[in-house]
Amino acid sequence: MEMITRPRRLRSSENLRRMVRETRMDPSSLMYPMFVMEGTDKVEEISSMPGQYRYTVDRMEEKLYRLADAGVGSVMLFGIPNDKDEVGSGAYAENGIVQQALQKAKQAVPNLFYVSDVCMCEYTSHGHCGILHGHDVDNDKTLDYLAKIAVSQVQAGSDMVAPSDMMDGRVAAIREGLDRNGYTNTPIMSYAVKYASAFYGPFRDAADSAPAFGDRKTYQMDYHNSREGIKEALLDVEEGADIIMVKPAMSFLDMVARVREVVDVPVATYSVSGEYAMVKAAAANGWIDEERIICEMAVSAYRAGTNIYETYFAEEVARFMKEGRIG
């Protein structure tokens, strides 16, 4: 039998496989989500996310040093305040928990790039991502608050803001607010394609951000829809988004690929808490090889077209890249 084309030729050795590898990865493209809480001298493990912790500001340095040493490029900060109210005032307070964390982190480990989540769900007494009108989130009234949050975070040292609320028009409102205050060079990474997903469950435990009533399906996307996601991504680019986020990652890599094809800005994806929790639970039962699964999940995101991979496994993935196991 004569065969001219034999794909296996390029798989015959490790050196050759690495030489022709289509997907290349670097630790600098990794982003780690970090939870900071009020108080002192506390590190609390998150029960639904074994190996992940909430840190008080005075205890976050050790983790930041490890991330920097591993080569991870950036950290996204999520705040957990002691007190909440109807308008989420802790999110834009000068001495809010994220503002405190940004100031401390920038001083302690300045070579990391710090991103701040712009949302209200962790700070509102009702757990929704905006200002309520009855039992509905008032989209347009919320925009002023989101812009105020973004400006406050940048004033505290945030290198980039990441609105995750899914209000219509919020990128334009934040861009206008930042520019008006002199922050024309601060980029916006928009959670443009964020689905109403069951994969967020452990995060809501970690951030104490579950809604007190109802759900978020009137503002987060229906996971049956893909064309709608393209519309959201293009709208946010028009409004000034510098990076487009697709969330979650694992079940929505088709959207990463589709968004990558239509936008001319970098694309990010977030491997969310539910993905992490499933891997840890299955590995604890001996059902999977945890390290190999982590590698496959990361590679699949990059293969789909992501430029930035946000994951709770960022430190591990960076190590695997340096060891040559992936990337």
Q: The whole model's pTM is what?
A: 0.93
Q: Which of 196, 195, 194, 201 lies closest to 171, judged by CA?
A: 194
Mark whether 106 is an active-site residue.
no
Which of 217, 247, 280, 322 is catalytic? The answer is: 247
- Residue 186 is encoded by which pair of tokens? 């601060």
Half-sphere exposure of 274 (CA within 13 A, CB side): 12
Which of 84, 104, 194, 280 is catalytic? The answer is: 194
Which percentage of the chain shows pLDDT scores above 70?
A: 97
Q: What is the pLDDT of residue 33?
A: 97
pLDDT, one tens digit per residue, over 72-113 is 999 999 999 998 888 888 899 999 999 999 999 999 999 999
What mean pLDDT comes out for the span 13-22?
82
Half-sphere exposure of 11 (CA within 13 A, CB side): 3
Q: What is the pLDDT of residue 18?
A: 79
Which percentage of the chain shows pLDDT scores above 90?
A: 77
**pLDDT reading at 23 higher than 90:** no
* Contact assessment for residue 116 and residue 102, using Cβ atoms and an 8 Å cutoff: yes
Q: Which of 125, 183, 199, 128 lies closest to 150, judged by CA?
A: 183
Q: What is the pLDDT of residue 295?
A: 96
Mark whether 194 is an active-site residue.
yes
Q: What is the pLDDT of residue 327?
A: 74
pLDDT, one tens digit per residue, over 187-244 is 999 999 999 999 998 887 776 666 766 567 888 899 999 999 999 999 999 999 999 9
